[in-house]
Structures are given as C-alpha cells and as structure tokens.
C-alpha cells in the first residue's frame, strides 16, 4: 500500500497520527503419506493493519485487500471505529529508536531446488525410514517453507522492514511389532536445504521408535531424572509467559514481585536473544517498531527483568525490551520472546546419564497445556522415557506421571548438558535434576 497516499487521506480526514503495518507471506507445504504425495499447497498473502489516532482515541482496521484503491474506505472505517471508543489507556505510535542492529545476511538456498527435488527429498526420507527397520508400518513426512516480510511505516517518521526465510522438515514414523504399535516424530528447522542430513535424521527417529517396544511402568517414587533437551524446550515454551510483564501485571505469573531476587539455582542463566546466529529467525525490531536487544532475563538464578512491550513498559515506568509482538496481523500487540535461550553447561548427554547412574530419562511429555498452572508453577503431566541403570539408557518406560513445580525443577538442576537444541523459538540443553516425583504402578 502507498503510505504517502494513506497519510494524505488521513490528514484530510482529521486523523492526527497514522501507522501502516504490513505482513507479506509466501508458504509452500508438501506432505507424503508412505510413498504418495498426500498434499501440496502453495499460498501467498499480503495483509495489513492500519492504526490511527482520531479525537484522542486510537483505533485499528485490517484488510487483505492491500491496495491504494481501498484507502478511502479504510480511513472511513478507522474514523467510525475511533468515534465509539472511550478508553483512557495510553497508546503509542512509536517514532523509532536511534539505532537498529544490522542483521547478518542469511543466504538460503531453497530457490535452487525445484518442487520435484523437494518431493524427491521426502521420498528419500520415507525410503530411509523403511530401510532402517523391519518394523516399518507407516510414515508421514512433511516439508514446509516460509518466507515473510514485515513493514512498519508511520506519520512519526518510522520506516522499517525485515524479512525471514526458513524451512522445516518433519517426519512421523509408526512401527509395528507383533500386535504392538509405537511411534515417534522429529523435525528440523533449516536455513539451507543443502545442510540437511537424511541419514542422521532418520536414524534418530527409527532408533527412538523401535527402542520403545516392551515399555512398562515403574514404581511410584522420587527419582534422579534427566530431562532430554526436547522436554526442557517444551517446559520453557509452556511457561514462557511467566517472564512477561503483561502476565505479571495481570497477576498470572508466579514471578510477580520477584525482580532482582533469587528465583532459580545459581547455574540457571536465561536470555532472550533476537540475534542468535543459529536461530531460524532473527529480528532487529518488534511489531511496535521498537529496536530489539539481547535481554538477560535470569542471571545466576536471579530474575533481572520482565519482558515488555510499550504498554507494559509505560505501566511499570521502564523502557520496552523490544518484545511487543502480534499473534497475527489482526490481533493486538502482546508480549512474546524473540529467541528464549537457557544457557548450556559443559556436560555431554552421556555424561549426564553417567552422573545420574541410576534414575529415569524423560524423553517426551504430553498434556502440558492441560496439566500446568502458570500462577503456581505446578505441573502434572504424562511422560515416556527410559530407565538409567549404571549410567546407561536401558529399558523403555511408559504410563508414568511427572509432577512438580517449574521453579523447583530449575532450583534442583545439578548439571546442564551441552546438547542445546532449537524448538519453536526455544533453545535449551538436557538437564540432570536431582529429584523429581514420578507416579507409576
């Protein structure tokens, strides 16, 4: 949309300030069930949100018809919306910051591969899964590719744009042995397709699936536990909101009133870092146009900051941390992390098992959203994993319930692994927890 035309029409209509937020997306998705193409879809969207101040009230309108011809209608809708608002809440059309971090260029290679070659990749994954086990039953594999661009322009002089491009490969394997079924999935985010290792990817999935056969429960007790890196990412993701100033303001975080106090163990360091080089997405500004920065959230167990957008920053009389993000173009700005990172330790995964000697390895958890309480930190979730005997992973374990408090977990970390993994905006290693309650048979 032509911002100069938008600004011209806004001034004529008596709108005091105006902002154009545009999001362009292009998505490719291909899925296979066994050896057949199950679905192939390619789509593009170009949508925008327009915020304007009229009669000292701010209103927002949205459109998927992102064209100059639609400007008069959008201005009319904006004035009508602002005319019926009677709020005293502060609002912001941000003028921008002096400096924005220059991000390194990420030269993806996705365009160098044809659709046929991407389909061939999925076929090779299925073939590799089949060849690695006699228990193959079914597999679903998927390839998705995302390109997006965000532009923010406003009447206060702000003019920003950023883009991101990444791909994701996913596979779900079902194996059958006698009458028993087991399944496992894994996925990998990519900045370059050339870097993807089919053999390594499928070996891990097959090993993790087949090793589950013969799983049984264990007696209820307190155990020494290793939480595998995927599980730690899941816990951090479901509890990420406790670091949000918005959650603190609304009294739905157990970290309320805990700034500059000890909340976790000495060895826990958590940062929100939009500039991590190995992250699929890096960002120099948030959805309000605020420059992003690396935020030390927890340092040596001490809570150093909450994450803020402009609204929560004004409420607490601090600066925004650059964490104002929308869930979608037509949603309001909330508080969200950039790349939330639990800093790793120096121990390999096998060293964690050796240190535990005898205990339980938790490899996956289910029911997290239903089984957690963000106000108290309590969780009670179903898990699967393995026994750790004499420092080695041995018998598979299922039908167990892991319970505790999020804050207790991070106060009882004896060792952190060096096996950091990325999962949906979270970076975390495996952890050795000195004691956790497990309910079994």
Question: For residue 14, is it within any domain?
Answer: no
Tell me, yes or no, whether 227 and 319 share the same domain.
no
Which residues have C-beta within 8 Å of that of residue 8, sequence separation ≥ 6?
none
Question: For residue 40, is it within any domain?
Answer: no
pLDDT of residue 406: 94
Tell me, yes or no, whether 350 and 231 share the same domain.
yes
Name the token pair of 221.
Answer: 């007790």
Question: For residue 24, is it within any domain?
Answer: no
For residue 396, what are the CA distances in angstroms to 59, 241, 383, 400?
Answer: 56, 33, 11, 11
Question: For residue 426, is it within any domain?
Answer: yes
pLDDT of residue 349: 97
Question: For residue 193, is it within any domain?
Answer: yes
Name the token pair of 395.
Answer: 């018998």
Tell me, yes or no, whether 429 and 398 share the same domain.
yes
Question: For residue 36, is it within any domain?
Answer: no
Mean pLDDT of the chain: 94
Return d(Cα 372, Cα 370) in angstroms, integer: 6
**Count of structural domains within the chain:** 3
Tell me, yes or no, whether 280 and 146 share the same domain.
no
Name the token pair of 222.
Answer: 């307190």
Assess whether pLDDT exceeds 80 at residue 86.
Answer: no
Please compute the mean of the pLDDT values over residues 211-215 and round it to a whole number: 95
Q: In which band, very low, low, confident or very high, does the pLDDT at 297 lie, cut at 50, 70 and 90? A: very high
Yes or no: say if 106 and 192 are a contact pair by the CB < 8 Å rule: no
Report which DSSP code applies to 112: G
Tell me, yes or no, whether 299 and 391 share the same domain.
no
Tell me, yes or no, whether 229 and 246 share the same domain.
no
353-393 pLDDT, tens digit per residue, is 999 999 999 999 988 878 788 889 999 999 999 999 999 99
365: containing domain: 221-236+344-439
Tell me, yes or no, whether 370 and 424 share the same domain.
yes
Dihedral, CA of residue 390, residue 393, residue 399 and residue 405, to nearest 10: 80
Name the token pair of 124.
Answer: 């090779």
Tell me, yes or no, whether 123 and 136 share the same domain.
yes
Return d(Cα 42, Cα 112) in angstroms, integer: 17
Return d(Cα 353, Cα 364) in angstroms, integer: 17
Tell me, yes or no, whether 225 and 353 share the same domain.
yes
Tell me, yes or no, whether 256 and 280 share the same domain.
yes
Question: For residue 298, is it within any domain?
Answer: yes
Tell me, yes or no, whether 226 and 355 share the same domain.
yes
Assess whether pLDDT exceeds 90 at residue 31.
Answer: yes
Yes or no: say if 34 and 123 are a contact pair by the CB < 8 Å rule: no
Assess whether pLDDT exceeds 80 at residue 407.
Answer: yes
Tell me, yes or no, whether 230 and 245 share the same domain.
no
Yes or no: say if 431 and 417 are a contact pair by the CB < 8 Å rule: yes
Total residue count of the chain as it appears in this document: 441
115-133 pLDDT, tens digit per residue, is 999 999 999 999 999 999 9
Question: For residue 58, is it within any domain?
Answer: no
Q: Comparing C-alpha atoms, which of 153, 214, 148, 211 is closest to residue 179? A: 214
Residue at token pair 């060792």: 415
CATH number for 186: 3.30.2290.10
Assess whether pLDDT exceeds 90 at residue 3.
Answer: yes
């Amino acid at each position: 949309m032509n911002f100069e035309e938008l600004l011209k029409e806004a001034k004529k209509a008596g709108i005091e300030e105006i902002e154009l937020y545009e999001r362009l997306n292009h998505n490719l998705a291909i899925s296979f069930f066994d050896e057949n193409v199950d679905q192939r879809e390619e789509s593009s969207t170009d949508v925008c949100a327009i915020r304007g101040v009229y009669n000292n009230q701010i209103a927002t309108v949205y459109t998927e018809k992102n064209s100059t011809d639609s400007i008069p209608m959008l201005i009319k809708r904006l004035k009508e919306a602002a005319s019926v608002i009677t709020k005293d809440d502060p609002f912001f059309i941000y003028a921008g910051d002096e400096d924005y971090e220059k991000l390194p260029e990420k030269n993806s290679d996705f365009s160098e591969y044809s659709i046929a070659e991407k389909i061939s990749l999925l076929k090779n994954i299925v073939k590799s899964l089949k060849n690695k086990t006699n228990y193959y039953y079914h597999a679903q594999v998927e390839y998705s590719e995302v390109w997006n661009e965000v532009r923010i322009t406003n009447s206060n002089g702000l003019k920003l744009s950023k883009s991101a491009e990444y791909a994701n490969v996913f596979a779900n394997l079902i194996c059958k042995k006698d009458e028993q079924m087991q399944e496992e999935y894994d996925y990998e985010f990519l900045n370059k397709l050339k870097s993807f290792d089919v053999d390594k990817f499928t070996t891990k999935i097959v090993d993790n699936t087949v090793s589950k056969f013969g799983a049984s429960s264990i007696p209820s007790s307190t155990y020494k536990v290793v939480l595998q890196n995927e599980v730690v990412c899941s816990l951090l993701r479901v509890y990420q909101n406790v670091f949000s100033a918005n959650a603190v303001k609304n009294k739905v975080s157990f970290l309320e009133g805990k700034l500059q106090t000890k909340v976790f163990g000495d060895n826990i360091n958590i940062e929100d870092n939009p500039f991590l080089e190995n992250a699929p997405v890096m960002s120099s500004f948030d959805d309000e146009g605020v420059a992003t920065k690396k935020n030390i959230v927890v340092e040596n167990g001490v809570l150093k900051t909450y994450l803020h957008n402009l609204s929560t920053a004004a409420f607490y009389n601090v600066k925004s941390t650059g964490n104002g993000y929308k869930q979608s173009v037509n949603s309001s700005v909330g508080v969200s992390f950039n790349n939330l990172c639990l800093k790793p330790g120096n121990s390999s995964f096998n060293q964690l098992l050796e240190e535990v000697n005898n205990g339980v390895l938790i490899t996956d958890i289910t029911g997290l959203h239903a089984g957690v309480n963000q106000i108290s930190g309590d969780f009670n979730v179903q898990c699967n994993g393995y026994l750790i005997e004499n420092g080695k992973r041995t018998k598979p374990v299922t039908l167990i319930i892991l319970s505790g408090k999020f804050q207790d977990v991070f106060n009882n970390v004896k060792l952190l692994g060096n096996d950091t993994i990325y999962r949906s905006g979270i970076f975390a290693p495996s952890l050795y927890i000195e004691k956790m309650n497990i309910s079994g048979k």
